[in-house]
Structure 1
């Protein structure tokens, strides 16, 4: 079975949440927020719960407030993981939604954003989304990348990234444990020509940046710190 931390603590799904709206980009339903006139675009690639959770859309709105046009595509084509669907367990769902295929959905979205006028595009991936973002960074199809509690990537994947990359890991995470995050740091430190940043957050678990309890001040603070690092990373590498 794939690591259960990917789908523990399921979020509330609410298609009407957020200050933005859902539109179609390159054939993909996408939550968008921020000024359509912004020339810098950020794409958030969700965890297995897709683009509807209010907390994810809140993060998108927060990023948009820093001058970005932000897109959160539905990489699962209307089929996010549903923990209540006992007839379709996670492993069966996962076979139909291989993170290695995410790049094929992402490429036309990037092209569409550039046709709209985006001069630079950054991607952030949460859990499942980290593979898509890493593959895009290896192919140099984006200008900056952030991985938050990444899943389904290897040291060799990270070694191949050719764009600025920040990786935010959790102290309590069996999918990307601190030992693996530190291995990511070692291979990135060996590539000084690629700007990188790696941080392991203490006292948090996998998914802490997007599946946190908004009524828990410590959880909100830890998630907020990660979001700030992400935004600052994009500011550094896209606002040149």
Structure 2
């Protein structure tokens, strides 16, 4: 179901990380930050390690500084993947936390955002989260989407996308290798009504945008470049 790259470089989770707060939104606990007066929201859909990852929350804080209301839901109800739990490998864990469930859980979150006066919503998915985002994009429940090193997304998924989509991929990635991303690019190019961008980052590996070491300047630089590309996409299309 998923390769070892999906589980490499696990973050040290910290429920107190970030400058935002945790509140209930659409039935889920969610890390939220940003002006409550904003009419534009960004949904950040985590990888299997969940919403308490410090780098992910740092990214949420950065996006909020650009004027967006940012939401990072806990799709796993306090049960993120734990690579130290030998009795529950990723293939077993993911049966309890399929992306199809994440998609269904996103619907009330989207409705809750609309009830706050949000008029445009973007969603960015990392790894596992990209599969959730593609389903939102196929149903046009969001106005723009971004994949960051996606997992489980298929060519048929991409064929169904109805909103502007950016795909940010890694050169060294067994989950979504460059060959697959090139297929995504070809499909998107055949859909002129859907704005799209596919970019492959050299020398990067799966998970590089949120599971980088803050002590590695080159890793930080590559992650920050992807963050800027993601933010620029939302600024342009929301």
| Common fold: TM-score over 0.5 | yes
Where does residue 90 of structure 2 map in the other structure?
A: 90
Q: CA deviation at 1:125?
A: 0.2
Of stretches 57-66 and 98-107 in structure 1, the one that deviates more from structure 2 is 98-107
Whole-angstrom CA distance in 2 between matches of 1:2 and 1:145:
23
- Indicate conservation of the 8 Å contact 2:126/2:147, yes or no: yes
Q: CA deviation at 1:100?
A: 2.1
Where does residue 103 of structure 2 map in the other structure?
A: 103
String of CA shifts for 1:3-22, please: whole Å, max 9, x gaps: 11111110010000000010
Where does residue 49 of structure 1 map in the other structure?
A: 49
Whole-angstrom CA distance in 2 between matches of 1:195 and 1:89:
38
| Superposition RMSD in Å | 0.7
Where does residue 33 of structure 1 map in the other structure?
A: 33
Whole-angstrom CA distance in 2 between matches of 1:178 and 1:89:
26
Where in structure 2 are the equivalents of 1:103-182 lying within 5 Å? 103-182=103-182
String of CA shifts for 1:145-184, please: whole Å, max 9, x gaps: 0000000110010011000000000000011000000000
Whole-angstrom CA distance in 2 between matches of 1:14 and 1:96:
23
Q: CA deviation at 1:52?
A: 0.1
- Indicate conservation of the 8 Å contact 2:2/2:175, yes or no: no
Whole-angstrom CA distance in 2 between matches of 1:8 and 1:55:
15
Where does residue 213 of structure 2 map in the other structure?
A: 213
Of stretches 114-123 and 99-108 in structure 1, the one that deviates more from structure 2 is 99-108
Whole-angstrom CA distance in 1 between matches of 2:228 and 2:163:
20
Where does residue 234 of structure 2 map in the other structure?
A: 234
Whole-angstrom CA distance in 2 between matches of 1:188 and 1:27:
34
Q: CA deviation at 1:36?
A: 1.2
TM-score (norm: length of structure 1): 0.98
| Secondary structure of the corresponding residue to residue 162 of structure 2 | coil
Whole-angstrom CA distance in 2 between matches of 1:53 and 1:224:
16
Whole-angstrom CA distance in 2 between matches of 1:98 and 1:119:
28
Q: Which runs of 5+ in 2 are unaligned?
A: none
Whole-angstrom CA distance in 2 between matches of 1:195 and 1:167:
11
Q: CA deviation at 1:37?
A: 1.3
Whole-angstrom CA distance in 2 between matches of 1:187 and 1:26:
33
Whole-angstrom CA distance in 2 between matches of 1:192 and 1:32:
34
TM-score (norm: length of structure 2): 0.99
| Secondary structure of the corresponding residue to residue 192 of structure 1 | coil
